[in-house]
Amino acid sequence: MRPSAGATLALGPASEALSHAPSLYNLARRLSASDSDAEDLVQETYARALGGAATFAPGTNLRAWLFRILRNAWVDLLRRRRRDPAGGGQPGLEPNSEPPAEEQAQGPELLRGDLELDRLRRVVSAEIEAALGQLGEEARTVVLLDLEGLTEVEVAEVMGCAVGTVKSRLSRARAALRRLLQHYAPPEATGRGGTRRAEGAGEAEGGAGGTR
């Protein structure tokens, strides 16, 4: 008897694994900035996961396992491209000479609390994509995995590092995003918006120094 489309448990682990394909594709596309690379990475992930080479123990964390395979496939792809740049891929993936945004110890100061909040509320897709692109590769990955709903323990499993490392990477990456997002466009004058102000962090005289 054939199960109908939409039947779940009867179909076994392959189907559950495939249900993660949209999430895997989304991450792959964000990391590689290329539709064809993302498709290849997803195919590679499932080939490694379900192609018979690896066995999956039921009851363990399937999603984290798949993301780990995807990430490893991506790292492999990056390494291959660095050795042979003519092999294709996006120019933006070459290692930067500049340190990634989250490692810059001296960043522009955060705006006074209410201005920053106002700015964050107005952020548009292009800005947040650009900011994400300025993070280092590992920082970007932890932010995206966290966004995908993985716990810090799961992220650590995917990245192959300690949970503490994930915590600090995530914290620095988010701080870097906040700094970057403030400065893509000049903040609006505070005449608009509520009269009620948060007593903002670091009430510096005249606000932050980095005005444009």
Partner 1 sequence: MTERPGAGPATRPEVPPECGRARSLLLDAERGRLPAAEPAWLEEHLAGCAGCRAEAEAERALSAALATRLPRHRPSPELLTDLAARYLPAAAQPAPAPRSTSPSPATDVAGPGAVDSPPAPAPLRPVARRWPRPAWLGPAMAAALVLATVGYYEGLVLPRRTSPSIAAEAVHDHLRLLASSHPLGVESGGPHQVKPWFQGRLDFAPPLAFGGDDDYPLVGGDVAYVFDRKAAQLVFRRRLHTISLLVFVAEGLRFPPAEVPLGRLAAHLEEVRGFSSVVWRDGELGFALASDLNRAELLELARRVASAGR
CB nearer to partner 1: pick between 19 and 90 = 19
Write down the least CB distance from residue 66 to partner 1, Å: 12
**In the set 81, 100, 200, 207, which binds partner 1 (CB under 8 A)?**
200
**In the set 132, 139, 156, 158, which binds partner 1 (CB under 8 A)?**
132
Place of tokens 């100061």: 109
Tell me how long the chain is. Answer: 212
Residue span binding partner 1 (CB under 8 A) among the ranges 54-62, 64-72, 95-103, 203-211: 203-211
Q: For residue 138, what are its two tokens?
A: 């590992």
Write down the least CB distance from residue 86 to partner 1, Å: 14
Contact assessment for residue 202 and residue 110, using Cβ atoms and an 8 Å cutoff:
yes
- Provide Rg for the chain, Cα atoms: 21
Q: List the x/- string, 13-52, binding to partner 1 by CB under 8 A.
A: -xxxxxxxxxx-xx--xx----xx-xxx-xxx-xx--xxx
Which residues from 61-120 bind partner 1, rule CB under 8 A?
A: 63, 104, 106-110, 113-114, 116-117, 120
Which residues from 140-179 bind partner 1, rule CB under 8 A?
A: 143, 147-151, 170-171, 174, 177-178
